[in-house]
Amino acid sequence: MNIQSPSRYDSLSQAFHWLTVIAVSIAFILGPEHFGQLARRGIDPASRSDIVWHESLGLLVLVLTLLRLLWLAFRPAAPLIPMSSRMRLMGRLMHVALWTLLLALPVTAFLALGSEGHSLTLLGGVRVDQFPMIANSAIAKWFDWGDVHQFLGDAIMWLAGLHAAAAIYHHLVLKDGVLSTMLPGKGIR
């Protein structure tokens, strides 16, 4: 029996993908530089809308990523576009790197907040003032987690840019339909 691969990702996978792209991009743009310095100077994160939005979007990214991972177990088959084994390997490595960063960024944010004694402030006035399990753990002292978080934030943007450039290359040069698999509607040809 010949089971044909779908030509596009399902609508929920597409929605998760594009919502994640938007949330990560806006969180990156709003990411306050030198957050730790601001907090040490006594500036309350709740008084800075960029911090509140950055942290809220970061939590949204974590939730979307966990839901996406859950959906992977149940979603319809992914499109299988014919390509060289080298390209397929590069694509898989890129996806593993992006998934890893999507999980590592929120974790390092929690580690930074907890190890430095900063509060988490979200939209709607939700606030978590302390993370004692993190603050009292050995891992809190391993690194400057705020610097790690900032480095990983830069890394995800670079990798996402390469990922987008590869999709555009597939569309414009190879004309193999890779880009269309993740576009909503009928996509582009």
Q: What is the mean pLDDT of each run of 10 residues along the chain (189 residues)?
A: 68 91 91 66 71 88 94 86 88 94 91 74 76 63 79 94 91 83 71
Tell whether 29 is covered by a domain: yes
Residues 6+ apart with CB under 8 A from 151: none
Question: Which residue in 94, 93, 108, 96 sits closest to 61, CA to CA?
Answer: 108
Tell whether 188 is covered by a domain: no
pLDDT of residue 140: 64
pLDDT of residue 159: 96
pLDDT of residue 133: 66
Tell whether 4 is covered by a domain: no
Tell whether 127 is covered by a domain: yes
CATH classification at residue 134: 1.20.950
User: And the tokens for 9?
Assistant: 């990702």
Domain containing 38 equals 11-182
The total number of structural domains that make up the chain: 1
Tell whether 187 is covered by a domain: no
Tell whether 5 is covered by a domain: no
Which pTM was predicted?
0.82
Tell whether 189 is covered by a domain: no
Residue 85 neighbours by CB distance under 10 Å? 7
Rounded CA-CA distance 68/114 in Å is 26
pLDDT of residue 93: 95
Tell whether 52 is covered by a domain: yes
